[in-house]
Structure 1
């Protein structure tokens, strides 16, 4: 199985320090939907692991989050692709869960769901917590410059981190 795991905010859609609280605020990054569809059509399973502490903070509810993910699936399907498993952490930063990145819980959920080892699987994110989560399960950390990526690039990165401009550049690299 060719598995690619993506963070959501800042990788697939535009991020906001004020949180993405409504379906109208969920705006795909140019070319990200096409990149996911292209990967899917080329035989890749594209899963998503996303921290969503806005749920714990009361900024939006699960139905709103589900509508964002339904929109993502719909947009990718319109281009002939599909999105695999989407997992989210609903907890706040101080809730002590094992799923909030940089903890590896969501990535482990994806591995269990698909029955695969994550060793060497690319996990694409835009923040240090994404990269650290990747390292915790032996994934290949991959940073995109979109979202908080440029800010993350200004700090030391884990050894071996791959850096790409955006999801489209990753799709171009993975599809030969």
Structure 2
């Protein structure tokens, strides 16, 4: 039997407790989880691609050890379904925080299914304590001098505060 492989894509700029919650839950469902860190220059990232990959790798080590799931962190650009094929992923994991996320994610899942019907999209709802967290808000709060300690793990907190000059 082949390993169940999933792809969890995002910009992870920065990685939040919400991302880690979805990663931990997805890791319990599959044998191998590829975390695809998107280049996505259009979003004006705070961290360079290499920094985001490095931070995510550090933040998921404990999850991999705890769950026994093989977790890989890889940068990517281009079509998501193409990257899923390249990784050997049978499913794409997407986290949902609110109804507004669902509309966009539903459309993207439909397009991806038309591009490659062999790759399923699986939605995981954000846990109650993390459903409101977004990287965009975390960056904005940090840049304006607010406390982001409850939204991100310690390493990410340290690196984000250093990046915004605090």
| TM superposition score normalised by structure 1 | 0.48
Higher helix share: 2
**Greater RCO structure (CA 8 Å; 6+ sep):** 2
| TM superposition score normalised by structure 2 | 0.50
* Larger-Rg structure: 2
